[in-house]
Structures are given as C-alpha cells and as structure tokens.
Amino acid sequence: MDRPITTLFMLMSVDGKISTGATDDLDVDKDFPKITGVNEGLHQYYEIEQTTDLWSLNSGRVQAKLGVNSKGIPDKTPISFVMIDNSHLDKNGIHYFCALSKEFVLITSNSDHPAFGVDENNLHIICQNELSLKEALTKLKSEYGCERITIQSGGTLNSLFLREKLLDFIDIVVAPVLIGGKDTATLVDGESLLSESELSKVGVLKLRECVVLENSYLRLRYEVIH
C-alpha cells in the first residue's frame, strides 16, 4: 500500500453525534464531563486514545474550537500530528502543535497560511492547490515514514475519507447518551448520496471486536471492506 493504514477513532453518542450541539461553543470534550451518567465512564475513551497510532490527523477547525490558538506551550509528546487547515489556526496554534509534536505536518491550500511565517525544525507544510487526501497520505508515507495514522477529524472531513475509500478501520467509543438535532455533527457528514448508482460509495464494515466497557460505554472496532 502506498499510503498509511488509517483508523477513524472517535467518541460518539448512541445516535452518532460527535458534538453536543450545532455551535462551536458546544463540544463533547468540554460538555460530557458535565453530564451525570456520561462523565463516570468518560475516562475510558481517553485511556484508549493513549493506545492509538503514533501519527494522528486532525482538522484545524476542530482544534481551534478546542482553543489551541490561545493555549500555552505544552510538553513534547511522542505523537506526530497532521493538521488539515486553511484558516482556523493562527501562529500560536502552529507553535502549540510544533511544541506538542514529534513531527508536525500541515496540509493546506492557503498559500498565505500563518504557518509559512513560523520557523520550527519539526514543521512541515504540504501545500496543495486543492485538497487531495490521497496525495497527502501518499506523501506522509513516502516522505515522513508514516505507516499508520489515526483520524480524529470532523464529520465533513470524515466523509471525504469515506467517499475516497481511504479508511481501513473504524474504532468507535459509544457514550450512553442521545443528543439529537439534525444540524449537530455526526460521525460522517458531508453530501448525501442522491441515487442508487452512488451506493458504491458507502462504507461496508466487518465487526472485529465489540467490548462492553464500564458505565454503559461500548467500544466497536470494524474493518472497512473496500
């Protein structure tokens, strides 16, 4: 395979929501600890997260929502982060991830991105005229030695990985909560299929493991059948 093995790893509600609402002020990382019956088992998701791949792909929008642009400089970790971003991260956000990461790779189609003004030894920029996930993944493997990568992006970006058949495994931790709301982000958003001819774009899954966790949480692990 000329690209890394990919795993979509997410925390979601029973109805597939990956946010607690339709505004950037609402977020599962911030809000789930406030909900009795959900908070008690939440630690299991973060413990599992610590066992995922040494490469992690996120979106700038999600990270900006989590406040990285205003956070202080963190301690170094052994994780290499890949960020897809055109406009959400500022220079502080870039410095934050350079400090956090073993290697930090920004994928952008914005030639004026603030990252171009940052001088860090571990900062690498893949600049594309138009986002191509396949080309970016290929370069991550060939130029940076990325063999496996965990995807933790938003529903729209997740849909691009799905439609382009770039997901190999799905690893989901299901929290015991129903959130609802047609405008609340789900595991896979993006454009809907409009005809029977597009059914080849769906992701067919083979269950590899189902683990009943404490406090009514579940962990579901699937292989994506292409």
Mean pLDDT of the chain: 97
For residue 77, the model assigns a pLDDT of 97
Structurally, how many domains does the chain consist of?
Answer: 1
Q: What band does 226 get if pLDDT is binned at 50, 70 and 90?
A: confident
For residue 214, the model assigns a pLDDT of 98
152 pLDDT above the threshold of 90: yes
Whole-angstrom distance, CA of residue 2 vs CA of residue 141: 7
Q: Which amino acid is at 179?
A: I
Residue ranges of the alpha helices (H) in the chain?
28-31, 43-49, 60-65, 91-100, 133-144, 155-163
42-50 average pLDDT score = 98
Whole-angstrom distance, CA of residue 66 vs CA of residue 200: 35
Nearest alpha-carbon partner for 6 in 118, 187, 149: 149
Q: The domain that contains 184 carries what CATH number? A: 3.40.430.10
24 pLDDT above the threshold of 90: no
Predicted structure pTM score: 0.96
148 pLDDT above the threshold of 90: yes
217-223 average pLDDT score = 98
Which of 25-29, 43-47, 85-89 has the weakest average pLDDT?
25-29
Q: What band does 7 get if pLDDT is binned at 50, 70 and 90?
A: very high
Residue ranges of the alpha helices (H) in 17-132?
28-31, 43-49, 60-65, 91-100
103 pLDDT above the threshold of 90: yes
DSSP state of 19: S
76-91 average pLDDT score = 98
Q: Six-digit token pair at 91?
A: 């220079």
Whole-angstrom distance, CA of residue 147 vs CA of residue 149: 7
| Cβ neighbours for 32, distance < 8 A, ≥ 6 positions apart | 11, 20, 38, 39, 42, 175, 177
59-86 average pLDDT score = 96
Residue ranges of the alpha helices (H) in 66-214?
91-100, 133-144, 155-163
pLDDT more than 90, % of the chain: 97
Range of the domain at 24: 5-225
Whole-angstrom distance, CA of residue 141 vs CA of residue 125: 14
174-182 average pLDDT score = 97
Judge contact between 205 and 222, C-beta under 8 A: yes
